[in-house]
Amino acid sequence: MLREALEWMTTPAPAIARKLGYLGEAIATSARGRRQHKAWQEHRERTRRALVTASEGLGGTAALLGAGIIDDIPLAELSARFEKLVLVDIVHLAPVKQAARQLGNIELVCADLTGMAPALYRWQPGKALPEPAPGALAGRELDFIASVNLAGQLPVIPLRRLGRYLDETQAAALEAAIIAAHFGHLRSFNCPALFIGEVERRYSDRSGNTETAPALPGVTLPPAFDEWMWSLAPLGEINRNTALECRVQAVRLTG
């Protein structure tokens, strides 16, 4: 906890990212990744492999949405393959910044990938709900774009901010709208677009009982070229009685 608190205090981040919880979420995910290093290893390797496979033969400028802590990105290989590599996230932790300095052809873009953060921060009960409007890379000429372990997580902060003011139908509609807008953004570029991420969540208890839930409600994807299970939160991570495993797919959306 001391390490996470120090990271929160010393990591440069927009004020909105701090106040809405994006910085805290990034630091918590990084900490979980350290705790679950072994459980996450296959997922990280398969994600790296999918990025390498989908970008084979390409060059120019590539953008990765949801750069996270880059432990699931083959950064050196992609940096060598592309003239410029653009990493987009609302906050960039220290390992990302250090890697960018070392490799030289990496651009870090600090952006909210839902396009909702300012409106979320200003929103008051009784006002119209903010609408997703992703546009972090609008106008960019790209040769490859990838959403990396991101899409299913995009609704988390908006629903945390608004959830207690929404009924179940409104919350589900907002979740679906955020995810649909993200896929629309990916497909808006005239270049190959790759999705890597969770498509189903499986919760299980110590007795072996399992419940599943879609991670991308309302989305129909093309056939995946790779699929695997990610032990996101083994027993004891969320709580002592619940484990969460995700079915992850790598899908060429365009190109």
For the chain, how many structural domains are there in total? 1
The boundaries of the domain holding residue 8 are: 2-193
CA 174, 67, 229, 231 torsion-angle sign: negative
Q: Residue 208 falls within a domain, yes or no?
A: no
Report DSSP letters for the chain, one per residue: -HHHHHHHHHS---HHHHHHTHHHHHHHHHHHHHHTHHHHHHHHHHHHHHHHHHTTT--SEEEEE--TTSTTS-HHHHHHHSSEEEEEES---HHHHHHHHHHSSEEEEE--TTS-HHHHHH--TTSPPP-----TTTT---SEEEEES-GGGTTHHHHHHHGGGS-HHHHHHHHHHHHHHHHHHHHTSSS-EEEEEEEEEEEEETT--EEEEESSTT--PPPPSEEEEEEEE-TTTSBTTEEEEEEEEEEEEE-
Q: Is residue 225 included in any domain, yes or no?
A: no
Residue 148 confidence (pLDDT)? 97
Whether residue 246 is contained in a domain is answered as no
Does residue 198 lie within any of the structural domains?
no
List the chain pLDDT tens, one digit each, 255 residues.
Answer: 667 767 766 677 788 888 998 888 888 888 777 888 898 999 999 999 999 999 999 999 999 999 777 889 999 999 999 999 999 999 988 888 888 899 989 999 999 999 999 999 999 998 999 999 998 898 899 999 999 999 999 999 999 999 899 999 999 999 999 999 999 999 999 999 999 999 999 999 888 899 999 999 999 999 999 999 999 988 888 888 899 999 999 999 987
Q: Note whether residue 18 is domain-resident.
A: yes
Task: Report how far residue 134's alpha carbon sits from residue 185's, in angstroms, rounded to the nearest whole number.
Answer: 7
User: Is residue 102 a part of any domain in this protein?
Assistant: yes
Residue 135 falls inside a structural domain: yes
pTM above 0.95, yes or no: no
Asked whether residue 9 is assigned to any structural domain, the reply reads yes
Predicted local distance difference test score (pLDDT) of residue 178: 97
- What is the model's pLDDT at position 94? 84
The pLDDT of residue 238: 82
